[in-house]
Amino acid sequence: MLLSRIGRVTLGLIVLALVIIIFVASGVAIQLIFTNGDYRKPLALTVYSLTLAALLLPIQPLLGRCRSESGSGNSDGSECRDHSTAARWPRKRYVCLLGVLWFAAQLTYNTSLLYTSVATNSSLSSSSAIFTFIFSIVILRYPLLRVVPILATLLCVSGVVVTAINQPKPDASSAVRETPLGYVLALGSACCYGVFTCCLKRWVLDEGRMVYVFGMFGVIALIIGVPSVIVCHFTGLEKLVLPTWAQWGAITANAIIGSVVSDYMLSVAVILLSPLVVSLGLAMTIPLSLLADGLILRLHTFKAIYLLGAALVFTAVGLISWDTYRVERKREKATERDSGTEVSTPEERRQEEGVRTPSIQSG
């Protein structure tokens, strides 16, 4: 990897901040397409949006050429680097499984926007941190019995219950009226995302491969989506209706920015940071979506108790992300001690080597 640890964290935080803004804007756009745009076809919208990710596939060779040229000036150990990076390509069956998980997460999320406000959807979707914690025990082998995650889980469940019981009041004719089905779909999306992030962290070790991975997601969405659209059309679950040019333009713009670009950036942030740090950042969509829904668009009025529920979810995500950061740091230090290749801090390195620490190159 060309980036230092500090550089990776900084880049990851910048990418994550952009993703948060795009996610909230995209959620609002999808809901407006369903209501004001009068195109209530979540399956067709999901398939079309995710299929566009296949456009990323031609970009991968260009990125690979740029990476090789940037490293050509450093010939020492280049052969070893080629062998090590080759091993970082994810296996095809892993990519297929990740693609299915991502399709399920996006479909349930988009469908839930028919039955929940953007603010409620953000609160419920942020509970993915709890699912990430649960699945990280199995997939990433994180420790099981820890007080902070258990407390965070209780807070998150309490926040979800409070949010679900105290539904926001619609203030506009186009405002969505919430139903329990929307809550189930949003939580299902959070569960799929929790599994997805843990598998992504384990199977995809290099953010440089994410263009290829998400390009393949587009192919997988096409393979799964087209038969699904046909089946739903003939069974009456979702009749296939072609959008108008205005609807098509709005859907395409949201698909490119809110799906292809943001999904790729999100996965890069997962690789650069960690699954739960990203979940913590995504919790910022809660106050941002409340601001957009209640103050900017004036679609719903939220009770004080509803805001308390959202705050409980936000606090839970913060606690569980902080705890996971501590666990990962301990594992990194243990790995460094076992390998004997790196010391954690510059001060420790100077004490070990007795020389001045050289500057870290990033590129």
Tens-place pLDDT, residues 123-145: 888 888 788 888 888 888 877 76
Give residue 213's identity as a one-letter amino acid code.
V
Strand-pair partners of 170: 300
Over residues 169-175, the mean pLDDT reads: 77
The token pair that represents 210 in the structure block? 């994410």
The token pair that represents 208 in the structure block? 């440089």
Tokens 């910048």 locate to 14
CB atoms within 10 A of CB 240: 12
Residues 6+ apart with CB under 8 A from 150: none
**What per-residue confidence (pLDDT) applies to 352?**
46
Element (H, E) at 301: strand 300-301
Question: What pLDDT, in 10s, does the model give residues 32-85?
Answer: 898 887 899 999 999 999 999 998 888 766 655 555 554 544 444 444 444 444
Question: What pLDDT, in 10s, does the model give residues 180-190?
Answer: 999 999 999 99
Q: Residue 252 half-sphere exposure, CB side, CA atoms within 13 Å? A: 7
Q: DSSP assignment, residue 257?
A: I
Is the pTM higher than 0.85? no
Q: In a 3-state reduction of DSSP, which class is residue 169?
A: strand
Residues 6+ apart with CB under 8 A from 111: 42, 43, 185
Under the banding of pLDDT at 50, 70 and 90, the label for residue 115 is very high
Question: What pLDDT, in 10s, does the model give residues 80-103?
Answer: 444 444 445 667 888 999 999 999
Strand-pair partners of 169: 301
Under the banding of pLDDT at 50, 70 and 90, the label for residue 356 is very low
Under the banding of pLDDT at 50, 70 and 90, the label for residue 347 is very low
Q: In a 3-state reduction of DSSP, which class is residue 170?
A: strand
Over residues 268-294, the mean pLDDT reads: 78
